[in-house]
């Protein structure tokens, strides 16, 4: 277990994981899935339910990566926004992606209910505006969602209502989405894995894939012979698929969790219990947990290096929102890598006719990764229309090559950080 994961509230608040052995020897299957996050576990589940002999390989343990460390927010749409999608795919293609992303919210709830996954689901998501410019953008976004996309679960909250909902004066308005929500992401990922096993999938942990060739995934201890391969390693895939690695940048993001505040105090912070994020580029996001802690994220390192001063940075950010928590103890602080694309659109496709990949969720991974696994199962079963819409999204490599891409990105992000100030 890494230091970052060892300090995670999520790892500390779930029951001991069931033992799963590493792969030893050579097995044959219909499909081999690489990566035990939400996307991989969902793919294994949906493939097994369709009758495919499915094997999943995870280099650490289920939910070890971003899927088990995130803010746990379940949000509509994709990270790049609908206007950007229309530029990339045209109106029809963008609407098809929107429809899948909206179904993803329904699928998340359905999977939790059908497989009885105890993951602390709570309804409600708030997107908050910090300044008049944000308020104008927010009103336009709500208008687009309600009229152009017929997404009626959102509504506008003026300052007065926001201040009755959140115990802070930081925000000027907000959008509430009754269709969004939040959950315990590690518990959810493990629940998907258990459901996949009940459906017949075989899961191996502590099993790093070392090489991929058509029809074969090799590991240190053996191999899987499978005509179809699904890569779901995202930011942790490394050099296993060099063709797609330049299209994503692993970005370090960090969170903290306070001591238990008690139900009344937690409810006073967020009256409706919703997940919250703001509209800054370098955004803050937060929610209350089932045991009444405040979970707060926001500190990001584009260098991809370690924890730097993330604990102190996130605490300072938290106190800008909730200064009344100055005396609250910080019990957990952790981080992990998310897979960012240049255009912030998801990156799905094929390396070969029967080798698929899912990556580039760019912070919108909980709902979207779940349905991405379903799209993979559809595509392998010969129903590839929805998967292929995503595969048409054009992606380019981060500029600068392996050495300069991070410094160039950090320089580019400075513009957006400065824009957050005006």
- Tens-digit pLDDT profile for residues 90-141: 999 999 999 999 999 999 999 999 999 999 999 999 999 999 999 999 999 9
Calpha distance 327→312 (Å, rounded): 14
- Sequence-distant (≥ 6) Cβ neighbours of residue 346 within 8 angstroms: 78, 79, 358, 359, 360, 361, 362, 364, 368, 372, 390, 393
Distance of CA 47 to the CA centre of its chain: 21
Tokens for 396, please give them: 């380019």
Calpha distance 108→115 (Å, rounded): 11
Calpha distance 387→364 (Å, rounded): 17
Please give the pLDDT value at position 280. 92
Section 41-62 average pLDDT = 98
Out of 11-20, 93-102, 141-150, 363-372, which region has the weakest mean confidence (pLDDT)?
A: 11-20
Record the pTM.
Answer: 0.93
Architecture of domain 3-70+186-245+343-400 in CATH? Answer: 3-Layer(bba) Sandwich (3.50)
For residue 190, the SS3 value is helix
CA gyration radius, the chain: 21
pLDDT at 338 over 90: no
Task: Evaluate whether 286 touches 297 at the Cβ level (below 8 Å).
Answer: yes
Section 186-191 average pLDDT = 97
Please give the pLDDT value at position 419. 56
Give the DSSP letter string of 310-330: HHHHHHHHHHHH-GGGTT--E
- Would you place residue 306 in the very low, low, confident or very high pLDDT band (cuts 50, 70, 90)? very low
Domain boundaries, the chain: 3-70+186-245+343-400
> What would the pLDDT profile of 340-352 be if each residue is shown by its tens digit?
899 999 999 999 9
Out of 47-51, 154-158, 333-337, which region has the weakest mean confidence (pLDDT)?
A: 333-337
Q: Which helix (H) or strand (E) holds 33?
A: strand 31-34
Residue 293's Cβ-count burial label (10 Å; 0-12, 13-18, 19+) is: buried
Calpha distance 227→406 (Å, rounded): 36
> What would the pLDDT profile of 395-419 be if each residue is shown by its tens digit?
999 876 555 455 555 555 544 454 5
> What would the pLDDT profile of 222-256 be if each residue is shown by its tens digit?
999 999 999 999 888 878 999 999 998 888 889 99
Please give the pLDDT value at position 303. 53
> What would the pLDDT profile of 366-394 be if each residue is shown by its tens digit?
999 999 999 999 999 999 999 999 999 99
For residue 183, give the nearest of 286, 316, 74, 312 by alpha carbon.
74
For residue 217, give the nearest of 375, 378, 55 by alpha carbon.
55
Task: Evaluate whether 79 touches 364 at the Cβ level (below 8 Å).
Answer: yes
Section 56-64 average pLDDT = 96
- Would you place residue 302 in the very low, low, confident or very high pLDDT band (cuts 50, 70, 90)? low
For residue 287, the SS3 value is strand
Calpha distance 55→224 (Å, rounded): 8
Q: Where are the alpha helices (DSSP H) in 202-303?
A: 263-269
């Amino acid at each position: 277990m890494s230091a970052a994961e060892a300090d995670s509230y999520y790892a500390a608040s779930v029951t001991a994981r069931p033992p799963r052995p590493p792969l030893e020897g050579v097995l044959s299957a219909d499909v081999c899935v690489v990566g035990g996050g939400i996307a991989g576990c969902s793919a294994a589940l949906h493939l097994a339910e369709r009758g495919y002999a499915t094997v999943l390989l995870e280099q650490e343990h289920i939910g070890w990566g971003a899927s088990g460390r995130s803010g746990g927010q379940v949000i509509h749409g994709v990270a790049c926004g609908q206007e950007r999608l229309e530029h990339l795919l045209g109106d029809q293609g963008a609407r098809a992606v929107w429809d899948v992303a909206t179904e993803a919210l329904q699928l998340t709830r359905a999977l939790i209910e059908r497989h009885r996954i105890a993951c602390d689901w709570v309804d409600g998501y708030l997107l908050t505006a910090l300044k008049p410019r944000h308020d104008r953008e927010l009103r336009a976004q709500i208008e687009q969602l309600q009229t152009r996309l017929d997404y009626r679960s959102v509504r506008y909250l003026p300052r007065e209502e926001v201040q009755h909902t959140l115990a802070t004066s930081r925000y000027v308005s907000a959008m509430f989405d009754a269709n969004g929500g939040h959950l315990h992401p590690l518990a959810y990922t493990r629940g998907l894995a258990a459901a996949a096993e009940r459906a017949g999938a075989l899961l191996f942990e502590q099993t790093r894939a070392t090489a991929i060739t058509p029809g074969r995934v090799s590991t240190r201890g053996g191999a899987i012979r499978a005509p179809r391969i699904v890569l779901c390693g995202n930011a942790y895939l490394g050099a296993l698929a060099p063709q797609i690695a330049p299209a994503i940048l692993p970005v370090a993001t960090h969170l903290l969790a306070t001591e238990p505040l008690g139900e009344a105090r937690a409810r006073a912070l967020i009256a409706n219990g919703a997940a919250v994020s703001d509209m800054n580029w370098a955004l803050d996001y937060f929610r209350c947990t089932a045991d009444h802690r405040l979970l707060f994220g926001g500190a990001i390192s584009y260098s991809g290096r370690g924890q730097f001063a993330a604990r102190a940075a996130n605490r300072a950010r938290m106190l800008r929102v909730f200064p009344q928590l100055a005396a609250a103890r910080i019990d957990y602080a952790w981080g992990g890598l998310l897979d960012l694309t240049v255009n912030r659109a998801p990156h799905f496709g094929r390396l070969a006719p029967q080798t698929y990949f899912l990556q580039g969720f760019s912070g919108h991974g909980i709902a979207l990764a779940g349905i991405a696994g379903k799209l993979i199962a559809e595509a392998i079963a010969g129903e590839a229309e929805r998967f292929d819409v995503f595969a048409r999204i054009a992606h380019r490599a981060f500029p600068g090559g392996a050495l300069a891409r991070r410094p160039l990105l950090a320089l580019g992000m400075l513009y957006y950080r400065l824009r957050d100030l005006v």
